[in-house]
Amino acid sequence: MLRATVVLVAAGAATLGARDAHAAGFQNLSQSATATAMGSVGTANPDEPNSNFYNPANMVFQDTWQVYVGNTNILPSSSYTSPAGDRTETLPAFFPPPNLNIAVPLPAIGAAVGIGVTLPYGLGIAWPDDWEGRDTIVSQTLQTYNINPNVAFKIPNVDLGVSVGGQVYLSTVELNQTFILRDDVEVPAQIGGSGSGFGFTAAVMYKPIENLTVGLNFRSGATIDYEGRAHFEGEEGTVFEQTFIDQDVTTAISIPNAVTLGFGYQLADLFLEVDVNFTTWSDYEKLDLEFSEPCEAGDQTCSVADGDTTNPPTTTIVSNWNDAVAFRLGAQYSINDQIDVRAGAVLDLTPIPDQTLSPSLPGNNRVAFSLGGGYTTDFGLRADLGYQFVNALEREVGAVNQNLPGTYTTTAHVLGINLGYGY
């Protein structure tokens, strides 16, 4: 029974955040209120205030140091309808992932330095404690912070900036589920862990002609190594007490590579941008979960070909996700030197096949619409507000689903709020 527990824990951890409102899979591309209002574009936007995340090469085109801080407030909702027609909705949830950008131009040497802090992978999901899928998942949460220092250089005599940087991931994950052993015995299980990983970034910002900008931003994948603990309650005093053993667990999860190409054009007071994002979700093929508790002498799990004597032996979870593409369109209109209004639209294609869809991440192709605005004072203080409505198209999976066949829907309201100085 413990083996079943950790298998489901692995599946939950592997999804890394059960319900992301911004991109198919578990990727969060809304890291500023400006971008949120413009359909999460920003790679080719000279006015994008979170340059470290969207395109660090843009820092060399700025005149003064800049600070931008805020959060993206997310209110998601999912539902599940069983083949028999019974409908269950997730509990009300609120997530406020933060973002921070600091950029310092060094015009005397044609360079710039900066650092960004974001939460690009995460969020969570919570179903009712007594719902029919509680033996698969009750709740799951994830926080994956990204610390991203960058350095950028301006190529002499050309309107071209290039940048390189590093990424440090600091992540925590927790999964709760309930094991229904018989009508009068249920065992809640809690698995939690933390881990870290490292990657790099590279970006280009180019202005080939007046009013046209081309941006390219690459954020490398990373491997996050997790160490955690499995804990059980309710088994005390039952015949199952020796089955549910608290123990340490370790695993490693692959963060995919992501590359975004953007084109921006300034037409009088109107700026338009189109971004295409490609994410190598196929890097996430499987997950191996290793356990610390040794098996007892004579236990069948001790008699495995590779000599693994832990109880249970190493478990492999297959995901087989596909690479995915997202298309984004954003617009900004300057009413005057201080007031801007923005709008955008998004289409994200899901990487998750029917075979590995689960209620921990009921994802599908997503469409989103956004709007917002900003105000900049004469002394460089900036305030931005952005809203997105995200709709994951209804998805029905049958018996091929390894967890819970049925029909899933997901929507989310996203509100970005930021303040900045130096703009």
pLDDT at 16: 39
The predicted-structure confidence for 262-278, as pLDDT tens digits, reads as follows 999 999 999 999 999 99
**Which DSSP helix (H) or strand (E) runs through 11?**
helix 2-15
For all residues of the chain together, what is the average pLDDT?
87
Residues 59, 280: Cα–Cα separation, whole Å: 27
**Which DSSP helix (H) or strand (E) runs through 108?**
none
State the burial class of residue 68 (Cβ atoms within 10 Å of its Cβ: 0-12, 13-18, 19+): buried
User: Following DSSP, what letter does each residue of 221-243 receive, concatenated?
Assistant: -EEEEEEEEEEE-S-TTSTTTTT
The total domain count for the chain is: 1
**pLDDT band of 284, cuts 50, 70, 90:** confident
Residues 377, 232: Cα–Cα separation, whole Å: 55
**pLDDT band of 217, cuts 50, 70, 90:** very high
Q: What CATH number is associated with residue 110?
A: 2.40.160.60
Question: Higher model confidence: residue 314 or residue 23?
Answer: 314
SS3 annotation, 396-413: EECCCCCCCCEEEEEEEE
Range of the domain at 305: 2-421
**pLDDT band of 243, cuts 50, 70, 90:** low
- Residue that is written with structure tokens 């991931």 in the block: 169
Runs of H (alpha helix) within 134-224: none
pLDDT at 5: 41
The predicted-structure confidence for 44-90, as pLDDT tens digits, reads as follows 999 999 999 999 999 999 999 999 999 999 999 999 999 999 999 99
For residue 223, the tally of other CB atoms under 10 A from its CB is 15
pLDDT at 395: 92
Checking if the pLDDT of 304 tops 70, the result is: no
